[in-house]
Structure 1
């Protein structure tokens, strides 16, 4: 038995009891610095910009809440908008946890969308509905994965910085997708350059009696599956080891080049699935020069969630609400719809400042 007079430093239970509140306070400080703080600061900074252009920020944010969360139709649109964003979250979680900066998701997204939009309408009269959708998703995943081969090879075997190569391939992918729509996959029966349109009844089924695409369910499954894979499986541990210390991973007998290639393939494949979910679930076709740029928008959300699956889902919900609500608020108040990008930019700036402040604190504590 431990004597009551035993000093706390020699009593493991007492030491643990004292350390727990300190650890909790430290975690809360990091949460405020790295997650909650940047979000609040971004909204405040955006509010200042709105004031400078003569718009009441409370009115603007109020319209966003009213349209996206307190309206039945708006809530359904918010849930539907989440689907492609969730697939992109899965894509980025795989890459970032493995130490890979895949910034080419926009190009991978669009090529997956174009392939799904081009193939699915042609298969409607040949295959059953479920087979059409499955084929569209599989081909979109392959298209996204193939577009990452060049950055993957350069990173795995030549050590070339993937930030540069994935961004370059993203620009090329966006242009290639538009070119394919205009020249190869163009619907001959329309004057507007676009792919053939998948009939509404052949798209992903709706949930219950709502307009919510069932792509939402598959997006949730993708994020949770990726989170479990990266945190609970041996394969995920190997990918994280490669990202944390490639030299140590190689010394431990892991094939760093092959695992790097696998990371690129998985990440880009999920980006392709994101494009397919948007087309097969909602849009039905792809028009030339269409680029929602979801990939770059999702990056700050994944960082704010600290690469955590459940946290990413929560942030995607609020961001989808912001996208849907800002469209209505912009029309009512005469604010450009691109103001949402200003908010995203503010979030990135505040996120960077939060990372810097946390780094300085950690350095001082050492």
Structure 2
């Protein structure tokens, strides 16, 4: 364990200071931003932060009242190597009011109910309402487990070298996760994004893209087509696209297609482009608005910042945004583990349930090291009527 990070996280969490620690894919070093100055950290529009530097966290849907959150890098620490002066600075900061959770825990969706929801989506697809919808559910782990979250972050870094791993805390939002999916990356005048969908447990036989079934291929193809449509809408013609390939992400593999373009093509409309991209059919559905409206009526929980996006931004010059997947929301009373999957006409309800269990396992496997009697299956989670 990185003891410098442990010290930073302990002080920041105890004082409820806005901070974030993150590690980029295929890198070993971490970066921590700590906001020491008071100031407005929630924004109604992504365009309000286009000239800001810091770390952004965006919700799945702002129409639910959730806002964009920006943590400013008043202090920046690499690899937990905090100086005595920096540690003294944050230790002497006034403690901020801690949020009090008075609400009930989220509704847990059990196996039978989830499978019924899959059937409901398939029925709507058959009736022509949309072509794909992404269904999610929550696994709740009761109890106050805030103390283990910094350790969980470091374990995720070790076990998910290909992921964007983060630990994020603002005044009243606390999340940790390891996302396999870039939304948009900008560096040295080059922009990249990906179409990522379809899920299987990791095995060598699943690394051959030609052996994936029609449902999985079509599920990812909807995302690819959507990105092509967004690029056309922004009149971007000269861009490069890879062929679909299989990408490993922890204990899972996904179908992926990469897109590359010159920043100058969208420079004057960067945040409009981000806004158009999010959410893609990888986390919403196709057509997007029809699918979103259906799943908002079907899902018994608020997605909050799950399937939103997050990452460091630097005045529109350097950007690394990732979709918020494989994540936990942390509260004083429980942890909420969010998982989901894309549903098409060819979806099998039992297979879709199992896919969410595979995704949950990437976090549950680590949590079992710290939480005694954590159920090894979803069987103990109740359904709702």
TM-score by structure 2 length? 0.25
More helix by share: 1
Larger relative contact order, structure 1 or 2 (CA cutoff 8 Å, min sep 6) = 1
TM-score, normalised to structure 1, is 0.26
Larger Rg: 1
